[in-house]
Amino acid sequence: MVITNDELQKQLEEKFGADILTFVKPSDRLSCIAPKSYNLKILQLLFDHYNFKFLNDLTAVHYPDNIGGELAVVYHISNLQDKVYFRLTVFTSIGEPDVFTATQLFSAANWMERETYDFFGVQFIGHPNLKRILNVEEMTYYPMRKEYPLEDQTRKDKDDQMFGR
Amino acid sequence: MRPVRFNINKKPVNLTDSVMMADMPPGHSGEGFFATQLSHVVGLARKNSIWPLPFATSCCGIEFMATMASHYDLARFGSERLGFSPRQCDLLMVMGTISKKMAPVLKQVYLQMAEPRWVLSVGACASSGGIFDTYSVLQGIDQVIPVDVYVPGCPPRPEGIIDGILKIQNIIQNEDVRRRSSPVYQKLMQEYNIQ
Ligand code: SF4
C-alpha cells in the first residue's frame, strides 16, 4: 500500500499530538517541524512502520533572528519503495545546541552529523565520534554560522577600498 | 560560404630566426678548448634539464596538462620528464587551490625535495587564494613554503606557464652555486621553519 502525504500527516498527528507538530507542504514533499526532543521518536516511527529507511541528507541552517531556536537541524528521509519523501526540522537554541544523534537508526548519519557539527556546532548527543571532519582540526569556530563573515579573517593584505567591501 | 581566412599568406619557414639556441656562457675559447667558470656550466646544465613535480589540485592543473601536451610542449624547454616523486625533482609546480588541510601535505612534499629546489606558483589560487577568500582555503602557498616565481591568471594560459618556466630557468642559470648556503637564504628558510 502506498502511503500518501495526508495519511502520513494524520498518523503522526494522532501519535504525537497535533499541537506540537507543524506541517508545511512547500512542494510535493511533506515537511514537519517538531520539538527537538521528538526527533528520534518520529524518525524511529517512520523507519519502523512506514519504511522510511533512507537518509538522504542531514544538515543544519542558522537563523540568527529566530531567538531561542537559532539552529534548525533538518533531516531528509525517503521511502524508496513507494517514492515518498519526508522532511523533519527541529529547532534548537544556539546556546545549548544539543540534539539526539540518529546514528543508531541510520549509519549514514554518522558522517553527516560530523559535518553538521563541523560547520554549525550542533552537539549530537550519543554520536560515537563527534569531531571535525572537513575543516582543519585547529579551527576554533563553526564557519557556517552567520556571525562569521565568509572572507578569511587572517588576511591583512586586502584593502577594503580596492575590493569594494 | 564562410571565407577561408587562415593560412592563405603562409610565412616562409626561416629556421635561422625561429630556432633559439642556448647562449654560450662568457669564457675563453681557443682552438679545441673552451674555458669558463664551473658555475656557468652548472647553471646551463641545470637550467635546461628541470624535472618538474606537478602538484595540480584544480582547474589550473588542466591548463598545465595543455602545457605538457603536444601543442605547447614543455619538453622543448628541457623539461621532458615529469617526476612524481619529490626526491627526484627540482621544480615544484603548484597549480590550483590549496586548502588549509592540504597545506601540511604541500609542505611535506617540499621538504622531501632535495636541494636545489625551486617553486613555481601557478594561478591566482596558489599565489593568493584567488577567488576563494574563505575560511577553508590557504591564502597563498607562500604562507607555508617559499616561492620563486608567481604566474598570475585564473587560469593562466599555457603561454603564461611557459613564461613562468622561462623565468625559473633564468633564476636557475644566474644563481650562484653557493646561494643555498648564503645567510639570506638561510634566513628565508628559518622564516618558514625549514632546516
Ligand atoms: S586560479 Fe582560477 S583556474 Fe586556477 S585553480 Fe584557482 S580558480 Fe581554478
Q: How many domains does chain B have?
A: 1
Please list the pLDDT of chain B residue by residue as tens digits (195 residues). 556 556 666 767 777 766 667 678 888 988 999 999 888 888 888 888 999 999 999 999 999 999 999 998 888 888 888 889 999 999 999 999 999 999 999 999 999 998 889 999 999 999 988 888 888 888 889 889 999 999 999 999 999 999 999 999 999 988 877 778 888 888 988 888 887
Residue in A93, A83, A11, A74 with CA at minimum distance from that of residue A46: A11
Domain, as residue range, for B158: 49-191
From B57, B59, B157, give the residue whose CB has the most ligand 1 atoms within 8 Å, as the site to mutate. B59
Taking an 8 Å cut-off on Cβ atoms, the answer to whether A143 and B135 are in contact is yes
Which pLDDT does position A153 carry in this prediction? 65
Flag whether B126 is in a domain: yes
Query: How many Cα neighbours within 13 Å face the side chain of B51?
Result: 15
Flag whether B32 is in a domain: no
Cell digits for B133?
577568500
Taking an 8 Å cut-off on Cβ atoms, the answer to whether B101 and A151 are in contact is no
Which pLDDT does position B168 carry in this prediction? 93
pTM: 0.81
Rounded Cα–Cα distance for residues B28 and A67 (Å): 84
Strand order in the sheet with B52-56: B52-56, B91-95, B118-122, B149-151
Flag whether B2 is in a domain: no
Cell digits for A4?
500518501
Chain B residue nearest residue A141, CA to CA: B135
Is the Cβ–Cβ distance between A8 and A29 less than 8 Å? no
Of A135, A155, A158, which is closest to B136 when you measure between CB atoms?
A135
Which pLDDT does position B8 carry in this prediction? 65
Q: Measure in Å the smallest separation between the Cα of B193 and chain A Cα atoms.
A: 19
> Beta strand B118-122 with B91-95: parallel, antiparallel or unpaired?
parallel
Flag whether B1 is in a domain: no
Q: What ipTM was reported for this prediction?
A: 0.74
Flag whether B44 is in a domain: no
CATH of the domain at B96: 3.40.50.12280
Of A136, A148, A151, which is closest to B133 when you measure between CB atoms?
A151
> Is the preceding omega at residue B155 within 30 degrees of 0, hence cis?
yes
Which pLDDT does position B108 carry in this prediction? 93
Please give the DSSP secondary-structure letter assigned to residue A87: E
Which pLDDT does position A29 carry in this prediction? 84
Flag whether B36 is in a domain: no
Please list the pLDDT of chain A residue by residue as tens digits (165 residues). 678 888 888 888 988 888 888 888 878 888 999 998 988 999 999 999 888 999 999 999 999 998 888 999 999 999 998 888 999 999 999 999 999 999 999 999 999 999 999 999 999 999 999 999 998 888 888 989 988 877 766 666 666 665 554
List Cβ neighbours of B191 (8 Å cut-off, separation of 6 or more).
Answer: none
SS (H, E, C) chain B: CCCCCCCCCCCCCCHHHHCCCCCCCCCEEECCEEECCHHHHHHHHHHCCCCEEEEECCHHHHHHHHHHCCCCCHHHHCCCCCCCCCCCCCEEEEECCCECCCHHHHHHHHHHCCCCCEEEEEHHHHHHCCCCCCCCECCCHHHCCCCCEEECCCCCCHHHHHHHHHHHHHHHHHCCCCHHHCHHHHHHHHHCCCC
- Long-range CB pairs of A127-130 (<8 Å, 24+ gap) are A127/A101, A127/A103, A128/A103
| pLDDT tens-place string over residues B185-194 | 889 888 888 8
Which pLDDT does position B147 carry in this prediction? 93
Cell digits for A162?
580596492
Which pLDDT does position A72 carry in this prediction? 94
Flag whether B147 is in a domain: yes
The Cβ of residue A162 has, within 10 Å, a number of other Cβ atoms equal to 7
Rounded Cα–Cα distance for residues B130 and B138 (Å): 10
Flag whether B153 is in a domain: yes
User: What is the interface size between A and B, counted as CB pairs within 8 Å?
Assistant: 29
Rounded Cα–Cα distance for residues A7 and B60 (Å): 53
Cell digits for A160?
577594503
